Amino acid sequence: MSQRCVLVVAALLVLSQTARMQKGRTLDIYSIDVEGGQATLFVSPSGESLLVDSGNPGDRDADRIAASAKDAGVSRIDYLVITHYDGDHVGGVKDVASRLPIRTFVDHGPRMPPPGSSPLTPEAQANVDRVDRQYAEARAAGRHIEVRAGDTIPIQGLDVQVVSSKGAVITKPLAGRRTNNPLCRDFAPHPQDTSENIFSVGVMIAAFGRFRLLDLGDLTWNTEHDLVCPDNLLGVVDVYVTTHHGLARSGPPALVHAIRPRVAIVNNGPQKGNSRETWETLKRSPGLEDVWQLHFSVQRPAQPRFEENGQPGGPDLNAPESFIANLVDAPPTHAPAYALKLSVRPDGSFVVVNTRNGYSKEYKAGSR
């Protein structure tokens, strides 16, 4: 046999072995406790990693992200998606980058004043300038991709589609055909949102052709409406990461009930998110099997600025303790902090594990 033939056969054997290895690998997802911010780590079957948001500035959240990365066997972040520029989403970039090299930064482009917004106070502007400067410094060390609705993020082993960015949403259905959404007739708009949240990068993440997860960052009520009204452009999902930490400013029934999640992950803090209105919307969602939470939600006064009309939190507005990763409500620097881990198999079935108590629940492959 010629040397060239030997090399070809060897290469084919390596490719075959790699394919067999990847066939048995899972998509692993870590919903990380950053106290009401966002940090969700995806490790694709190919081994490439995607981190959606970086939590708050400082060591606390960066250490928690690094711990989940270590558990996943990840030594670098291949893609970091910054949904928007609020401090609980972008604030931890510098600190994460000091622990895990970041190869590619994905965002909606330069910060801009939201339509109808008022000038910031000098103190608030100074904080914005600091966050932007630190992000720009970290981003300069890697590659940068500015995404628009309809773009894809090229991660091997995953199909990551951008469904919202810079205030715009997709105009064509992901599944290739339009489905009229009868829930739209009951939609009641909120007042115009004049915050950075409206620019959120939202993603639909699919794996194995059988599993779908939706994460819209902090996209708010009226823009979420445009994703599903008059037609549902998203289709249905297996897992829904609650928009905006489960605050009532987001997550209209017209969207949540249209996408029909089987599992909802609430990335809340003890005194932030999981509003009463959101909880009730989730519990009424057709096809929902379970709600999992990053934190027990303590009872507290309603905040009208978050569109909360009823008092959130308390025993009746939380999942059973087995489904809650962190039960403590103070201090916010508590250690240890626990994550929720999802592992998706090639057949589309998945398991959710509460790392606090080891409780897990299996979910069969969806047939929808």
Domains of the chain: 26-363 (3.60.15.10)
What DSSP letter does each residue of 81-126 carry, written as one string? E-----HHHHTTHHHHHTTS-EEEEEESSS--PPTTPPPPPHHHHH
Query: Residue 43 has which token pair?
Result: 């490790």
Q: Which two tokens stand for residue 222?
A: 């009226």
Q: Per mean pLDDT, which range of 63-72, 114-123, 329-338 is the poorest? A: 329-338
Structure tokens at 22: 């990847």
Which pLDDT belongs to residue 19? 44
Contact (Cβ atoms closer than 8 angstroms) between residue 45 and residue 157: yes
**pLDDT > 90 in the chain, percent:** 89
Tokens linked to 238: 């297996």
Cα dist from 76 to 16, 50, 62, 80, 135, whole Å: 26, 10, 13, 10, 17
For residue 209, give the amino acid letter: G
Q: pLDDT tens digits, residue range 161-194?
A: 999 999 999 999 998 788 999 999 999 999 999 9
User: Residue 307 — pLDDT band, cuts 50, 70, 90?
Assistant: very high
Is the pLDDT reported for residue 121 higher than 80?
Answer: yes
Q: Identify the band that residue 332 occupies on the pLDDT scale cut at 50, 70 and 90.
A: confident
Give which of 103, 82, 95 is closest to 38, Cα–Cα: 82
Q: What is the pLDDT of residue 24?
A: 66
Residue 122: CB partners within 8 Å, gap ≥ 6? Answer: none
Query: What percent of the chain lies above the pLDDT cut of 70?
Result: 93
Give pLDDT tens digits for 137-152. 999 999 999 999 999 9
